[in-house]
Structures are given as structure tokens and as C-alpha cells.
């Protein structure tokens, strides 16, 4: 099977799995939001800010070395696995020790037991890091998609059942632990490899050299996206933290739907191209040209329709989060584009500068949010997004240096879809203003359909080459059979 066909199949499976997973997850989330209310989500956001940070450190950090352009060996696999086990259980122990001080910091007693209840997910995810990396390297995305869907269904059943039984915020903890447990079982069932004790000091050193940079990068990324919840929760209280949490959750789901299929497939695809000595920068640029067709119109439309979207999905009590959601859509654009571009640096094993830039974003974000907090939630969201947009040009420059191309060649493909998305958003805004007295669901549906039709028409007129590129990946041409002698 050609790389294009593998890439298309991988994106198809990951898209189906991710979209079904998020559709179920979003439905469960919306129902739980109605059942539990703002304060419960605010308290969970306080506890989950630290648990999710450590989960992400073990999910996509040390094990990413298995997706680079290096060859695999039994010693390397065993080295990665046992280092992940030690890392995962060590982080879980850190959570247990820190749960009390974290609760004191928030002045919320429920935070400590919630952190303790959620802490097992960290070593559980560490145990699946190698099987998941192997499935990604071999581009076996069907198994990953089925695993994700099964986990979110099981977690949803447990979470809703607990909420209806009166467990309150503990329903959210039960949902998460169940989801991860199912993911663990299905990941190991999908691979034949099993860990052994045969490791080498050379591989351990290589893994540690790569791993500490990846951990630094992932830690910075998670601190960056969780720090607003921490600062807002400590400064403005659980209600404001809940409003921010709901806006971030929408952005997280939207970016997950767009980015995850591409990111999960792009990294092993670029790694394969590099191992074959082919032109990996061209593949990256083609993928980014296609990404812009989805990212810019999706978040531009969401920014304009933030209020009816929140009303329909979560109810009128969440409408105060609409300005924050509109602002956070800019971060959604950044997140989607940067995550896909980042895969090239990871495949090349060049992580150090990425980690440095990520920590600079954290420092800048903390400073800007600190000065914005006295002006309220919306000002804090603006400060958060500004930190990333100010640092973004440096990320483009770093990628250009690694890929050996001009920075302008990475930025210019985004100009046209950005302009078309702005035109589309203006049209959607005009249409939605004309429907001010209509119910939220009608405004949401009408605005979405109008935006899709308008952007599709603009893309057909102005970006036909990208539509053809997309078609070539979705339906790659098969090679003509050789003539028999």
C-alpha cells in the first residue's frame, strides 16, 4: 500500500474514531453539565488541571522516540516501557503527596480527594504508551479508533449513572477512570509485543536524552493550557473557573476533532518518509495546505456563533462564557496548526528548541494573565491567547530551520484560507444578527449551513488547487500495472 493510501486510510480511521468518540463524549459532557451545574465543573477543573498535566506527560513524551526515523529493537522497546512504568508511578505518587497543598491553595476541601481518585489514570496511561506507539508506527489506526470509542462509551455510562445516583462531582472522576481503564485493556489486546527484562544501557541513555526534552515540552504545553484554570480559580473563584472551563472544553473538543487524526497520522508518515530518504518537507507543506481548509473556517464560524452554541449545548446559564469562547477560537487556530507542524520536529528528533519556546510561552502567559486578572475573565482570556500569538513567529522560524525551507513558505499557505474564513465569518455574523429573535438552535443551524456553503463556494473559486490536493490524498491514483514481457 502506498504512503498516500496509508495516510488517507489512517486519517479516515482516526477521524471516524475521534469524531465518534468526541460526539459521545460531548453528549455525555453536555448532559453532565446540565445535571451537575457550574460549580461542580469548576471544582473538577481545579483538580483536573494537575492530573491532566501528568497524564499528558506520560501519554506523548518518552514513547515518542519510537516514532522517529530510528530503527526499533527489543532493547529499545523494553527500555522505553520500563522507564515509562517508573515515570508513571512516580508521578502518581507525586499527586498523592501534593493533593493536600493543592486543595489548600484553592481553599476547596473537595479538590484533594478528587486528585487522589483521579491519580491512578497516570500510571495506567504510562502502561499503554508503548503499545499505542507501536500501533501508530505501523499505522494501525483502526485499532486505535475502536479503542477510543469503547473507552468513551464505558466512561459515559459510568459517569451518567453516577450523576443520576447523586454522586455529584464524583461522577466526573468515575467517568475518567473508567474510560482510561478500558483504553488500557484494548491497547494491549491489539499488539503482540510483550515487555521483557532485556534492556541495554545505550538504549536507556538514548531514551533518557530524548525523553527529558519531550517531557519538558509536554510539561510546558500542559502548564500553558491549564494555568488559566489555576489562576482564574484561585483569583476569581469556582464560578468563573467553571465558565472558563466550559469555553476551553469546547475549544479542546473542536481542536481534537481537527488535529488529532492529522497529527496522529502525520508523525509516523513523516517518520517513514525520512527513513526512506524522501522529501519530507513537501509532505508537511501538503498536509498544512489541507489543514487550513478546515481549521480557519471551523473556528471563525464558532467564534461568531459562540452564544447560540453554548445556549443549545449547555443551556442559558452558560451564556456568560460566550465572549471567552469567541476569544479562545484564536487559540484553537494556533493549536491545530502548530500541533500538526510540530510532528515534523518530533519525527526529526529535534525537540530542544520547541521545549524552550513552550516555556517562554508559559512565562509570558503568566505575566499577561497576572496583569489582566483584575479586569475580569474576558480580559484574562485575551491575555492568554496573546501570549501564544506573540510567540508563534518563532515557532515558524524554528520549523523552517529544521525542514531547510524559508519561513515565508510555511506562513504563506495560511493567508488565503484566513482571508476566506474572515469573509465567511462576516457573512455568518450578518445572518445571525438578522435572526436575533429566533431560537438559538435555529440560529446555530442556519449560521452553520450558511457558513459551510459560503466557504465551500469561496474555496472552489479561489483554492481549487488545494481541493485537488485533498482529492489526491483521499483517492490516490493507483500505479499502472507493468506490462508483462
- pLDDT tens column, 51-78: 887 887 787 777 777 776 566 778 888 8
Diameter of the chain by CA atoms?
Answer: 81
Distance CA 181, CA 179 (A): 6
pLDDT tops 50 at residue 358:
yes
pLDDT tops 70 at residue 234:
yes
**Which of 316-341 are b and which e, b meaning 16 or more Cβ less than 10 Å from the residue's Cβ?**
ebbbbbbbbbbbbbbbbbbbbbbbbb
User: What pLDDT sits at residue 482?
Assistant: 41
User: What pLDDT sits at residue 180?
Assistant: 92
pLDDT tops 80 at residue 273:
no
Mean pLDDT of 339-344: 83
Instruction: Classify burial at 450, counting beta carbons within 10 Å of its beta carbon; exposed 0-12, middle 13-18, buried 19 or more.
Output: middle
% of residues, the chain, pLDDT over 90: 30
Mean pLDDT of 168-193: 89
Contacts of 382 (CB under 8 A, 6+ apart): 327, 372
% of residues, the chain, pLDDT over 70: 90
Residue 181 pLDDT grade (very low, low, confident, very high; cuts 50, 70, 90): very high
Mean pLDDT of 338-354: 82
Residue 405 pLDDT grade (very low, low, confident, very high; cuts 50, 70, 90): confident
What are the angstrom distances between the C-alpha of 475 and each of 8, 288, 451, 463, 483?
8, 18, 26, 18, 24
Residue 485 pLDDT grade (very low, low, confident, very high; cuts 50, 70, 90): very low
Q: Give whichever of 206-215, 380-389, 400-409 has the largest mean pLDDT.
A: 380-389
Distance CA 62, CA 59 (A): 8
- pLDDT tens column, 300-337: 999 999 999 998 888 888 889 999 999 999 999 999 89
Residue 484 pLDDT grade (very low, low, confident, very high; cuts 50, 70, 90): very low
User: Which of these ranges, 183-192, 446-455, 467-476, has the smallest mean pLDDT?
Assistant: 467-476
pTM above 0.75, yes or no: no
pLDDT tops 60 at residue 3:
no
- What are the strands, taking DSSP E only, across 49-158? none
pLDDT tops 80 at residue 256:
no
User: What pLDDT sits at residue 5?
Assistant: 62
**Which of 374-396 are b and which e, b meaning 16 or more Cβ less than 10 Å from the residue's Cβ?**
eeebbbbbbbbbbbbeebbeebb
User: What pLDDT sits at residue 478?
Assistant: 46
Higher-confidence position of 56 and 362: 362
User: What pLDDT sits at residue 483?
Assistant: 42
User: What pLDDT sits at residue 357?
Assistant: 92
Q: Cα 150 to the chain's mean position, in Å?
A: 19
Q: Cα 77 to the chain's mean position, in Å?
A: 26
Q: Give whichever of 35-49, 132-146, 226-240, 421-435 has the largest mean pLDDT.
A: 421-435
pLDDT tops 70 at residue 298:
yes
- pLDDT tens column, 89-131: 999 999 999 988 888 888 778 888 989 999 999 999 999 888 9
Which cell numbers in the block locate residue 400? 523552517
Distance CA 113, CA 85 (A): 24
Q: Give whichever of 62-76, 257-271, 389-403 has the largest mean pLDDT.
A: 389-403
User: What pLDDT sits at residue 15?
Assistant: 66
Contacts of 84 (CB under 8 A, 6+ apart): 58, 62, 63, 126, 127, 129, 130
Mean pLDDT of 36-60: 78
User: What pLDDT sits at residue 394?
Assistant: 94
Amino acid at each position: 500500500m502506498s504512503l498516500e493510501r496509508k495516510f488517507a486510510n489512517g486519517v479516515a480511521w482516526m477521524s471516524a474514531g475521534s469524531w465518534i468518540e468526541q460526539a459521545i463524549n460531548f453528549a455525555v459532557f453536555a448532559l453532565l453539565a446540565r445535571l451537575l451545574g457550574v460549580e461542580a465543573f469548576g471544582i473538577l477543573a481545579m483538580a483536573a488541571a494537575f492530573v491532566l498535566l501528568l497524564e499528558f506527560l506520560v501519554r506523548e513524551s518518552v514513547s515518542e522516540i519510537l516514532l522517529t526515523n530510528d530503527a526499533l529493537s527489543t532493547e529499545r522497546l523494553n527500555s522505553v516501557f520500563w522507564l515509562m512504568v517508573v515515570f508513571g508511578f512516580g508521578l502518581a505518587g507525586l499527586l498523592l503527596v501534593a493533593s493536600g497543598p493543592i486543595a489548600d491553595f484553592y481553599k476547596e476541601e473537595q479538590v484533594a480527594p478528587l486528585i487522589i481518585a483521579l491519580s491512578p489514570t497516570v500510571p495506567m496511561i504510562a502502561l499503554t504508551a508503548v503499545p499505542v506507539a507501536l500501533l501508530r508506527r505501523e499505522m494501525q489506526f483502526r485499532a486505535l479508533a475502536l479503542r477510543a470509542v469503547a473507552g468513551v462509551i464505558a466512561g459515559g455510562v459510568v459517569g451518567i449513572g453516577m450523576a443520576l445516583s447523586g454522586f455529584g462531582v464524583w461522577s466526573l472522576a468515575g467517568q475518567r477512570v473508567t474510560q482510561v481503564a478500558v483504553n488500557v485493556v484494548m491497547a494491549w489486546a491489539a499488539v503482540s509485543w510483550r515487555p521483557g527484562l532485556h534492556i541495554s544501557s545505550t538504549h536507556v541513555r538514548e531514551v533518557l536524552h530524548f525523553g527529558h526534552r519531550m517531557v519538558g515540552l509536554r510539561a510546558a504545553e500542559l502548564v500553558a493550557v491549564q494555568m488559566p484554570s489555576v489562576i482564574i480559580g484561585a483569583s476569581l473563584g469556582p464560578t468563573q473557573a467553571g465558565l472558563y472551563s466550559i469555553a476551553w472544553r469546547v475549544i479542546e473538543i473542536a481542536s481534537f476533532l481537527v488535529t488529532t487524526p492529522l497529527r496522529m497520522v502525520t508523525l509516523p508518515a513523516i517518520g517513514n518518509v525520512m527513513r526512506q530518504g524522501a522529501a519530507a518537507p513537501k509532505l508537511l507543506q501538503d498536509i498544512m495546505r489541507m489543514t487550513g481548509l478546515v481549521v480557519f473556517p471551523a473556528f471563525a464560524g464558532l467564534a461568531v456563533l459562540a452564544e447560540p452554541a453554548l445556549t443549545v449545548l449547555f443551556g442559558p446559564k452558560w451564556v456568560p462564557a460566550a465572549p471567552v469562547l469567541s476569544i479562545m477560537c484564536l487559540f484553537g487556530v494556533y493549536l491545530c496548526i502548530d500541533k500538526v507542524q510540530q510532528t515534523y520536529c518530533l519525527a526529526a528528533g529535534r525537540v530542544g528548541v520547541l521545549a524552550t519556546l513552550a516555556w517562554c510561552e508559559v512565562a509570558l502567559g503568566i505575566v499577561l494573565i497576572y496583569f489582566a486578572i483584575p479586569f475580569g475573565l474576558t480580559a484574562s482570556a485575551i491575555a492568554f491567547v496573546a501570549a501564544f500569538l506573540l510567540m508563534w513567529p518563532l515557532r515558524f522560524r524554528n520549523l523552517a530551520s529544521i525542514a531547510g525551507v524559508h519561513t515565508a513558505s510555511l506562513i504563506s499557505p495560511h493567508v488565503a484560507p484566513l482571508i476566506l474564513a474572515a469573509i465567511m465569518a462576516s457573512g455568518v455574523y450578518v445572518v445571525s444578527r438578522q435572526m436575533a429573535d429566533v431560537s438559538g438552535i435555529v440560529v446555530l443551524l442556519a449560521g452553520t449551513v450558511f457558513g459551510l456553503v459560503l466557504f465551500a463556494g469561496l474555496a472552489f473559486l479561489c483554492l481549487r488547487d488545494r481541493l485537488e490536493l485533498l482529492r489526491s490524498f483521499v483517492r490516490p491514483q493507483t500505479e499502472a500495472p507493468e506490462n508483462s514481457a
